[in-house]
């Protein structure tokens, strides 16, 4: 009798490849667009220094996940094992670009230092993930979903939905057509003719319209496709992160929450894969994505990798192991040969940002659906600091374009300082606020008070609500700023009142609030 062999490659891998590959390309396009278009960072340095190492991390992670699929197939005897998809983490790619790389460049005007700080920040994220991959289950059990997912919902609204809308309407014909296809094929789940992948068709249609209209000068300027040229930029190991480490420490309030979210997300997607029929070891999945992040950082990368949430979808497409291998090779080798620079420059942002908008909508929906219904106010509450950061970014951009000789009115300067306080450390603030309110709703008053106590302590050190222009951490008693102490005192008083209420008898029962 013939032994069943693992069918690791089949036609379904083609659909899965386009979906996973375009997700990664989208992140690279947006990373470049944010740094170059919003902050004026030199495009050549993004393409030659940041992208190759970032792409190498994807190649490493997807190669290991491909090998894991073969190992699982051999162990179980199954012929339909689907590899876990890995790619660039969208929320943190955008968040680090907006909250770390961009601000460092605006402050220093030094592109090399900015890159070094990006590498150092990514290395800190990777090391954090390696350590906490052993404690991810504990975090998931003890931090309410409203805190973890609510902070992501804020990113989904403020960064993954709002900024793509700006890009879509900068070229509305291209953007709206691509968005319409994404809404039809992916969000509404409608089948396209011949089973064409929705993400691929949306980008292809957008590109076709862009270059057709551009050739007739209907976009306000000629659209000229870049020449396909090889600009080899092999990822080279570097110790440049050492020079950026000191400044990167100031951005730990941004870096660590993003790392924590991918750890918890990795646990969730591994469980999702198990339900779909592929039982991977959670620790193996988490360690692989952590090591992929470290590898990227050591080779000049600035964006972390993560296991993607779409394993059941890729399995339903008929994907096995070939799609992850092909994606890793396409992204990794393309980054090393400079082909990714052609792809990034050739795809108009208006055609590809609707994919990010879809991701943002999914993240917001997940936060409200997966969290207990009674925690919906906590999810909404957790989004507020992220929206504050969005307004801060816009205000910083407007002020940065003003004539340096023009003096800001006192009232506007005061509002700017308040926005800094609200926006700095926004991810960690969102997690703490969401966790606090979720426990408060559940009547866990002492735990809720503990969240507020942590907020007060973090405020004193600038971990959240930093009052400095660049969001640095500090020792408050050396700062001489009363605002720090007022915020910390406010948190402390509410913490004391909440803790005191826990001794006042039975709290309200919320079991009836699942309406």
Residue 512: predicted pLDDT: 40
Residue 340 has pLDDT above 90, yes or no: no
> In this structure, is the dihedral angle defined by the CA atoms of residues 303, 304, 308 and 309, taken in order, positive or negative?
negative
Of the residues 350, 370, 390, which one is the last residue of a structural domain? 370
d(CA 101, CA 302): 9
Residue-level pLDDT at 83: 96
Alpha helices, H only, 401-444: 410-423, 426-441
Assess contact for 173 and 378: CB atoms under 8 A.
no
pLDDT value at 322 more than 70: yes
Instruction: Check whether residue 241 and residue 338 sit in a common domain.
Output: yes
How far is 118 from 396, CA to CA, in rounded Å?
20
Q: Quick check: 54 and 296 in contact, CB under 8 A?
A: yes
CB-based contact 86:58 (threshold 8 Å): yes
Nearest to 94 by CA among 161, 49, 148: 161
Domain C-terminal end among 344, 370, 396:
370
The pLDDT of residue 66 is above 70: yes
CA separation for the pair 91, 206 (Å, rounded)? 23
**Has residue 509 got a pLDDT over 50?**
no
Instruction: Indicate left, alpha or beta for 462 from its phi (over 0: left) and psi (-120 to 50: alpha).
Output: left
Q: pLDDT per residue over 5-16, tens digit each?
A: 898 999 888 878
Question: Does one domain contain both 352 and 402?
Answer: no
Band (pLDDT 50/70/90 cuts) for residue 515 is very low
Please tell me the distance from the alpha carbon of residue 306 to that of residue 382, in angstroms, as a whole number: 23
Averaged pLDDT, 157-172: 82
pLDDT in tens, 455-468: 999 999 988 999 98
Same domain, 267 and 129: yes
Q: Are residues 466 and 429 in the same domain?
A: yes
Q: Is residue 383 included in any domain, yes or no?
A: yes
Q: Which residues contact 497 (CB under 8 A, 6 or more apart)?
A: none
Question: Domain for residue 6, yes or no?
Answer: no
Contact (CB, 8 A) for 160 and 91: yes
**416 and 445 together in one domain:** yes
Phi-psi sector, 122: left (phi>0), alpha (psi -120 to 50), beta: alpha
Strand partners for 306 = 87
Compute φ and ψ for 290, nearest 5 degrees: -70, -45
Residue at 4 is within a domain: no
Does one domain contain both 299 and 208?
A: yes
Evaluate whether residue 510 is within a structural domain. Answer: no
0.85 exceeded by the pTM?
no
pLDDT of residue 514: 42
The mean per-residue pLDDT over the stretch 96-125 comes to 93
Specify if 117 maps to a domain: yes
Same domain, 291 and 426: no
Residue 375: the pLDDT is 92
Mean of pLDDT values over 145-168:
77
- Residue 321 is classified by DSSP as S
Both 251 and 356 in one domain: the answer is yes
Domain boundary, last residue among 311, 341, 370: 370
Q: Which domain holds residue 183?
A: 12-370
Q: Which helix (H) or strand (E) holds 265?
A: helix 252-276
Q: How far apart are CA 187 and CA 199, in angstroms?
A: 11
Residue 511 lies in a domain: no
135 belongs to a structural domain: yes
Summarised one tens digit per residue, pLDDT across range 133-149 is 887 667 667 777 777 77
For the ranges 209-213, 290-294, 318-322, the one whose mean pLDDT is highest: 290-294
**Residue 363 domain flag:** yes
Residue 206 three-state SS: helix
Per the structure block, which two tokens stand in for 286?
């988490």
Query: For the chain, how many structural domains are there in total?
Result: 2
Q: Are residues 465 and 436 in the same domain?
A: yes
Q: Say if residue 81 is in the same domain as residue 129.
A: yes
Mean pLDDT of the chain: 85
287 and 420 together in one domain? no
Residue-wise pLDDT for 463-495, tens only, equals: 899 998 877 788 899 888 899 999 999 999 999
- Crossing angle between the packed helical segments 145-155 and 252-276, to the nearest 10 degrees: 110
Please check whether residues 77 and 105 belong to one and the same domain.
yes
Contacts of 57 (CB under 8 A, 6+ apart): 292, 293, 295, 296, 297, 299, 301, 303, 304, 305
């Amino acid at each position: 009798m013939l032994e069943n062999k693992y069918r690791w490659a089949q036609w379904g891998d083609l659909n899965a490849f386009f979906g996973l590959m375009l997700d990664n390309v989208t992140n690279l396009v947006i990373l470049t667009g944010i740094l170059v278009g919003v902050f004026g960072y030199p495009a050549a340095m993004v393409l030659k220094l940041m992208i190759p190492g970032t792409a190498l991390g994807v190649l490493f992670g997807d190669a290991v996940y491909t090998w894991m699929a073969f190992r699982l197939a051999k162990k179980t005897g199954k012929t339909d094992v689907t590899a876990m998809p890995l790619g660039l983490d969208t929320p943190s790619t955008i968040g680090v670009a907006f909250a770390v790389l961009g601000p460092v460049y605006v402050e220093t005007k030094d592109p090399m230092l900015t890159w070094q700080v990006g590498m150092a920040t990514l290395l800190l994220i990777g090391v954090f993930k390696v350590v906490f991959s052993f404690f991810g289950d504990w975090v998931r059990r003890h931090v309410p979903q409203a805190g973890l997912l609510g902070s992501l919902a804020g990113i989904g609204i403020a960064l993954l939905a709002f900024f793509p809308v700006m890009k879509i309407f900068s070229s509305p014909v291209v953007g709206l057509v691509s968005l319409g296809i994404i809404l039809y094929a992916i969000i509404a789940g409608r089948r396209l003719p011949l089973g064409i992948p929705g993400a691929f068709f949306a980008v292809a249609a957008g590109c076709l319209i862009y270059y057709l209209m551009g050739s007739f000068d209907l976009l306000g300027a000629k659209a000229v496709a870049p020449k396909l040229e090889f600009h080899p930029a092999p990822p080279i190991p570097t110790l440049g992160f050492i020079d950026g480490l000191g400044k990167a420490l100031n951005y730990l309030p941004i870096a660590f929450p993003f790392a924590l979210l991918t750890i918890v997300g990795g646990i969730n997607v591994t469980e999702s894969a198990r339900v779909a029929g592929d039982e991977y070891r959670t620790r193996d999945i988490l360690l692989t994505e952590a090591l992929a992040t470290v590898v990227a950082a050591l080779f000049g990368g600035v964006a972390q990798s993560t296991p993607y949430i779409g394993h059941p979808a890729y399995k339903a497409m008929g994907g096995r192991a070939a799609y992850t291998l092909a994606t890793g090779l396409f992204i990794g080798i393309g980054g090393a040969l400079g082909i990714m620079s052609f792809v990034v420059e050739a795809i108009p942002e208006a055609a590809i940002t609707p994919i990010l908008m879809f991701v943002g909508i999914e993240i917001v929906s997940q936060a409200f659906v997966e969290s207990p219904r009674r925690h919906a106010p906590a999810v909404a509450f957790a989004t507020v600091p992220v929206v504050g950061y969005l307004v801060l970014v816009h205000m910083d951009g407007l002020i940065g374009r003003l004539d340096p000789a023009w003096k800001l009115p006192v009232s506007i300067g005061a509002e700017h300082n308040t926005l800094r306080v609200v926006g700095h450390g926004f991810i960690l603030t969102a997690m703490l606020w969401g966790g606090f309110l979720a426990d408060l709703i559940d009547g866990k008053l002492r735990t809720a008070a503990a969240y507020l106590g942590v907020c007060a302590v973090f405020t004193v050190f600038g971990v959240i609500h930093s009052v400095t222009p660049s969001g640095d951490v500090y020792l408050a008693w050396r700062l001489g700023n009363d605002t720090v102490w007022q915020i910390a005192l406010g948190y402390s008083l509410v913490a004391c009142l909440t803790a005191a209420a826990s001794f006042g008898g039975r709290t309200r029962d919320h079991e009836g609030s699942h309406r």
